[in-house]
Amino acid sequence: MWKQWVRGSAHFKVASEGCVLINKLRRFRLYDIEISPDAVSFSVALLHKREIMKLLGKRECTVTVNKNVFGFLNFFYTRAVLVTTAIICIMAFAVLDQFAFRVKIYGLDGEEHTAVSQYITSQGVKKFTPKRVARDQKLAHHVVGKFDFIAAASTRVTGSTFVLTVVRAENTPFKIPDGDITAPADGVVADIVVFSGTPAVTVGDVVRAGDVLVAGPRAVAIISLVNGTEVICLVNNTVIKSRDVGSGTLEH
């Protein structure tokens, strides 16, 4: 009975054939058979419906299917290999999702980019780095302490990419502005990382040239804008790189 409740059941009502039909049903160990002058009624687990239909052949009968609350489990019973494979795939995806498969550095170029890249690699940040490394910001603090040309840094994970975003120190060509950060052109905000100041926009906002992106007396931020087919990356109010969207992800 409990199997019928868990797996669902099929209720049969068959034109009576006396003991002939009852004897054929004995191999299914059916103990709850209702016999009336004109019919034999019984229920079986939904799993055995096809076998019963085959046994009955061309006999006149009516069938009522009741899948119950847990009737969907019948799918698992009959497709064990498929279900097992699906579970393994889900578990593998869950495990792999804990790691970053690419590492990118935003805010630097040339020798400085190379030096920072080599340093974070020596700290274990490379392909298959656990995403939790980006969340605790320890690496960002170490980078700021290690390199004089970096004023601020932060780490994050975007999809499967480990991202280190840095802001150069004031004694480099990219000066920290004395005022708000504004949009250099019309576009849509694709990414924004604010180190100081008050963000005036969020990802997805449409902005016009001259709109305030981050407000503050000395706002510091890295912002990406999509303008048509072009991506514009700002370090504060300075455009450090732009490229066509179709040529790939903005990177250094």
How far is residue 130's CA from residue 160's CA, in Å, rounded to a whole number? 10
- Res. 246: pLDDT tops 60: no
Give residues with Cβ within 8 angstroms of 210, minimum separation 6: 182, 183
Give 168-214 as a 3 state SS string: ECCCCCCCCCCCCEECCCCEEEEEEEEEEEEECCCCCCEECCCCEEE
Helix (H, G, I), strand (E, B) or coil at 71: coil
What range does the domain containing 110 cover? 100-174
Domain check: are 155 and 192 in the same one?
no
242 or 64, higher pLDDT? 64
Number of structural domains, the chain?
A: 3
pTM of the model as a whole: 0.37
Average pLDDT over residues 83-100: 76
How far is residue 114's CA from residue 37's CA, in Å, rounded to a whole number? 91
Whether residue 236 lies inside any domain: the answer is: yes
Residue 169 is part of a domain; what is its CATH number?
Answer: 3.10.20
Does residue 103 contact residue 219 with C-beta atoms inside 8 Å?
no
What is the separation, in whole angstroms, between the first and last Cα of the chain?
66
Whether residue 92 lies inside any domain: the answer is: no
Average pLDDT over residues 168-183: 67
